[in-house]
Every structure is written in structure tokens, then in C-alpha cells.
A and B are shown apart, each in its own frame.
Chain A
Amino acid sequence: MSDYSLTTFGQSGELTQVRYALTAVGNGDTCLGIRAKNGVVIACEKKITSVLVDETTIHKVEKIAPYLGTTYAGIGPDFNSVILKARKDVQVYHSKYQDRITPFMLCKQVADLFQEYTQSGGVRPFGIGLIVAGYDEEHGPQIFQIEASGTFYCWKATALGRGGNTAKQFLEKRYTDDLDIEDAIHTAILTLKDSFEGELTDKNVEIGVIRTSDPNKEFKILTQSEIRDYLREVE
């Protein structure tokens, strides 16, 4: 390689740029994912900097495919470019096998991209952490978390961002293996509420759900009125 990577080892053997990237994730808005016995839910808070911003044009929970969804904590524009790549990966897989890609395979491809950006020249690591929700025919509903370093794991419930650590402690207390999806959505809202400064409304939270009762296992992003109903339920 002709050009040198920005991401070089520090004396203690750690990649400082990657650590900074993880810090950037830690500064982001809180997002979380919970796996239930009959579905998955991912949610995130959407901080609007000014009342003048039209919040309907900001999407923080996104579809990668009709059956895969993701949310993130960290730098927004980075998320956009990663998701373009992820969507394309899904379609490439489709046109080859005409079959749904498993969440694991998709996450692996995204994680490979992340990893590549920790050792290539002239680039910086992505300043985002992703939470991906999907359904695997073999393993059922799944939540994956992908970090800027390129590591990814399957989680029962996880959280990222500014309130990530408190949210995780909250989830550890609340989580059970036989959680119902409706309860999981409630838990997700409660967890966000726990670390949220101010009042949680339908405008500053986004939720995406996969229910196994749906024959297509479609990833649905809840509308504002649906979120309103859930918010009312947890009160």
C-alpha cells in the first residue's frame, strides 16, 4: 500500500482512532434492541436540535431490507453511507440466491466493511455503532450489535450511546427469556424514558418491530400514532 493508515497502533497496543470512534458512539443518542420470544424490537431517541426542524424527514430507524431493520448511535452521515452499502449487499445476495439473507450474513458483511476502515489508508473508522434486527429461519428473532472496530455479537438485549450503560443495567434487570413482543416494546420505551432528559413523545422516539406472527416477518417502523398509543400504555 502506498499511503499510510491513520489508524496505527499506540504504544499500549491499542488502536487510538478506533477508541475515539467508540467515544463518538458513546456521545450519540441512546438506541437499544430487545429480543423477545416472538419478535424483536429496536428503538432510539431522536434529539431534535431545534423546533424548526421537520422531524418527519429524519429517520434513525431504517430498513435495510423489508425484513431487516437497523438503528444506530453516533455520527448520522456515517450511518447513511453504511446503510447504502448494507442495502446493496442484501440485493446482491438476493439476485444470486433469490433467498433472504440471514441477519448473521448481513452483519458479517457490514462488520467486514467496518474492519476494513480500521486498517486502510486515507480513511477513518466509522463513528457509529449499529443495532440490527432480523429474523433467522433457524434461530428465530435476532439482535446484532456491530461496533466501529468491526466486532459483532448476537445479543438478547443491548443498548448504545450516551445512555447506553444505564440502559443496559436497566435491561439486565428487566430481561427475561420468555418476554412477549408487546412487553418488549413497553420495556424498550421504559428504558429510553429512564435515561431521557425531558419528556418522551411520539416525535422524539422511533421504534421498529419484527413480529414472528407475521408470515413475511416484515420489519415495521411504527407510525407516530402507534408510538403515541404505546407511550400512553406505559404511563
Chain B
Amino acid sequence: MSGHNCVAIATDTRLSTQLMTIDTSFQRVFKVTDSCLMGVSGLGTDVQTLQLTLRSFYFSNSLMKFKLNLYRLKEGRDMKADVFSKLVATSLYEHRFGPYFVSPVIAGLDKVGENEYSPVICTYDSIGYREHNGQFEVAGTGAELLYGVCETFYKPNLEPEQLFEVISNSLLSALDRDSLSGWGAKVYLLTPTELTVRSLKTRQD
């Protein structure tokens, strides 16, 4: 979800095989650059192949991290969130006939002027259709539930703390009715100067 000079991603923390819970603190959201976050839902193996993990060395062959680092080394600058979001689309489309089973969500801020940032909010289908309307995007098993709540709760130009409130309430409402999600929730709130990660209290089932 996007606000005024801020963006946020909210996610649950459960990893499962069909109905069986395997992990209750699965990290889905990662910091791409200082101005961009990426959350990936979908098949666990593909999530890890695709996404970038900053700390774990055993994911160092991950696809997006490779491309991102190569860009950084070649061009000597961080990738803008908007460019990254398009790179993800091209990377997914490359696998058009053998896709990764993922639906990523990207939230980022691109500087457009002094103290003025344009939010980048987009999501993709598994073959790289980039969906973006600048307000909110949803993905994962609870997507259909989230569409409804976000549609009612979302307001344009929210300040960071208001945005946190809206996105948390949206996620909590959807989690309550999605049997496949749960086991805690995390909200990542990104402003130009700060990344705040908050764990929320949810139902533990």
C-alpha cells in the first residue's frame, strides 16, 4: 500500500504444504535497496530462488540478487524501485513457458524532487504481467479476501502511522478468514529515512 512519501507491505509468516504448517516464521519480505522492498508469495522453493536474501549466504545464487548486484557493480548506483519492478517483470516473462510459481509484490519510493517521493506499488502474475495502480496491490492465498478489505479501508495520501493502521487492519481482517495464512504477521513500513518492521499479534492457528 502506498501513502504520502511512504509505502508498506504487510504479510503473514506461515509456510505450509497444503494444510500442514511447516514454518511459523517464514520471511517473505526483503529489502532490495534502501528505497525498495519486495515480498514474494507462492511456492516456497521458487520464493527462495527468486528473492534476494541479504544475510543468508546459501541463497547467494538467487536470481534477483544476482541481477541487482550486477547492475550495482556495472552502473555504480542503486537501482531505482521503478526500474527494479520492471526488471522483475522481464525476469518472470523470461520463464513464460516454465514459470516460477510466485506472485511478488513490490513497494518502493523513488525520489522525484526535494522531499517528494513517488511510490512504486506493483504486483505480478507468475509470467510477469506487471500490475500497478499506485494505491494498493495484493497477492497470495488471501488475495481475494484482501481485495475486499483494502478496497474499503484504503485512502489516498495517508501519513506513515495512518498507513500502518490501515494496512494492519486490512491484513488482520483477511487473515481471520484465510485458513492457509496466519501464525503471526509482519508489517514493513518504508519512509525515505527509515524502515520500520513491526510484528503484529494475530490468532495463532
Chain A residues engaging chain B, CB cutoff 8 angstroms: 95-99, 102, 104-105, 138
Q: Of B82-90, B101-109, B178-186, which binds chain A?
A: B82-90
B86 cross-chain contacts in A, Cβ below 8 A: 97-99
B87 cross-chain contacts in A, Cβ below 8 A: 96-97
Question: What CA separation (Å) do A99 and B75 show in the bound complex?
Answer: 13
Cross-chain contact of B90 among A95, A102, A138 (Cβ < 8 A): A95
Interface of B, secondary structure class, is: helix
Q: Using A96-B87, A97-B87, A98-B83 as known contacts, say yes or no to A105 and B75 having CB atoms under 8 A apart.
A: yes
B201 cross-chain contacts in A, Cβ below 8 A: none
Cross-chain contact of A138 among B71, B74, B77, B89 (Cβ < 8 A): B77
Question: What CA separation (Å) do A234 and B35 show in the bound complex?
Answer: 48
Q: Kindly provide the distance from the CB of A191 to the nearest chain B CB, expressed in whole angstroms.
A: 32
A97 cross-chain contacts in B, Cβ below 8 A: 71, 83, 86-87, 90
B80 cross-chain contacts in A, Cβ below 8 A: 99
Q: Kindly provide the distance from the CB of A89 to the nearest chain B CB, expressed in whole angstroms.
A: 13
A104 cross-chain contacts in B, Cβ below 8 A: 75
Question: What CA separation (Å) do A97 and B75 show in the bound complex?
Answer: 13
Question: What CA separation (Å) do A178 and B71 show in the bound complex?
Answer: 33
B90 cross-chain contacts in A, Cβ below 8 A: 95-98
Residue of A nearest to B87 (CB): A97
Question: What CA separation (Å) do A208 and B136 show in the bound complex?
Answer: 43
Question: What CA separation (Å) do A56 and B144 show in the bound complex?
Answer: 61
Q: Kindly provide the distance from the CB of B63 to the nearest chain A CB, expressed in whole angstroms.
A: 14
